[in-house]
Amino acid sequence: MRYSKLIIGFVSLAVMALLVSPAHGAPRSWPNPQPTAQEPTPNPGFRDLRTDAVKEWYIYNDRNLNGILDPGDQKIDVFKNWWTPVSAHSQHNYSNGPYATTTFPDGDDWPSGPQNHADLNIPSNNYWIEGAANTIKFYMTYSQYDNNDFTTFDAGMQPGDDKTLKQGRNMYRNGYAMGWLTHRVKWDPQTNTFINDQTPAGSVKMDVYVKDGQKTFNINGWGTSRSDPNITLSNDISYLAKDATENQWHPPTFDPLTGTYNKNTPVNQAYMAQYGLTDAQFDTIVASMEVGEVDAAGINPGDVIWGGRTPDQIANDPTLKDHAGNDYVYADAFLERSEYVESSSDGGVIAGLAGQTSYDPQINNWGDQQVIRIDISAETLASGDPDGNGNITTVQFLDFGYDPLTGQVNPMLIELDLTDTDLFPENRFYIAQVNMVPEPATMIFVVAAGIPVLLKRRRKAKA
């Protein structure tokens, strides 16, 4: 009897602690207002927006400290994505941001200025993401252009290399994209001119792994969605990657079969022909990419931030399985190794994220969802001097959905303190599809009638 009372006391305290433990919401704030900004209008020549074009995404920490998102990890916040009629690549607007009024010489660190492309004729109607010193701003986005069906979508593609390139490049970019903007363009308000200061300002070492990002499925009344995560933009890519016709810089297409940027695939052969590239120049472009895809299963532990938590190690770890006992597989991996300067911004875009889940809280099949895992190195988050200059001091997300009337042009900033290693062990966080709940088999009984159940289990085990 005394033993039972003791158990009741401990369990009651545990339940009480669970119920009163405060949620760790991240601090929120508004960026500078852009009063004339407007939400874009869908392009009538593209496939219609999906009903879930703007959806909720959840930020979790890795409380369990195992490199996978599973029950016990902690929800930090929730946000909604942006959307644009143009491609996620074009939305990031590499080299043509609102402050880039100067033509940069080749070899300089060029900026990005992500915009929603609401009105190309009146720039002030566009909403721009404004960079901030030593800050990474993440955003999720849905592109109407990317979500066309490129088996039938034409968009003026010419037969031959042009069509092979554009179809192959865009075929699996349905779904969503994740972009990020690092640092800011330097501007002199006194003279209203851009300051081209190429003094080194900091560096970013970041690893991004994606689980269940690839998916092909049919949406009733809309059509087939084909997704396969891929890099659509890397800041500071070689000038050799510039398309003279579009006046944009495009990376080559990663080949999942070889786990490389294989120059011999049809799409990359067309890329080289269209851009007039030699084999050596193609290799130069790949080497210049500060954000690039790698073979997830073939990662060398010494090449990533946490060598003990690579996709291959996790997939082969018998203690790290999903809800159904299946391997936890990160099929896609992206590494950023970048340096930014005082006057410019950096960043990249990963498109082709399916953004789907079949999660059912009744069965808590938490593994059946897309998960984006992001590791940022401690060195990246270490400021260079007491004033906070010299590296990343702030990590933020843009929430474009807090206000259904103005959210797409008036987002809120969610700030994560990744240096808080109690909340973010190993400086890691996840972007998830679902708001996971505790397992019904444990938490419901603990809160509602858990003490008798726990005692019953204890007595049975004792007997």
**pLDDT tens profile 240-296:** 999 888 888 999 999 999 999 999 999 999 999 999 999 999 999 999 999 999 999
For 220-245, the pLDDT digits (tens) are: 999 999 999 999 999 999 989 998 88
Q: How much is the pLDDT for 99? A: 54
Is the pLDDT assigned to residue 447 strictly greater than 60? Answer: no
Mean pLDDT of 187-194: 80
Beta bridge partners of 73: 71
Is the pLDDT assigned to residue 439 strictly greater than 60? Answer: no
Is the pLDDT assigned to residue 97 strictly greater than 70? Answer: no
Q: Which residue has the higher pLDDT, 25 or 151?
A: 151
Query: 48 pLDDT band (50/70/90 cuts)?
Result: very high
| Residue 245 in tokens | 């016709």
CB 241, CB 275: distance < 8 Å: yes
Is the pLDDT assigned to residue 112 strictly greater than 50? Answer: yes
Mean pLDDT of 440-458: 33
Is the pLDDT assigned to residue 189 strictly greater than 50? Answer: yes
pTM above 0.95, yes or no: no
Q: How much is the pLDDT for 154? A: 86
Is the pLDDT assigned to residue 202 strictly greater than 90? Answer: yes
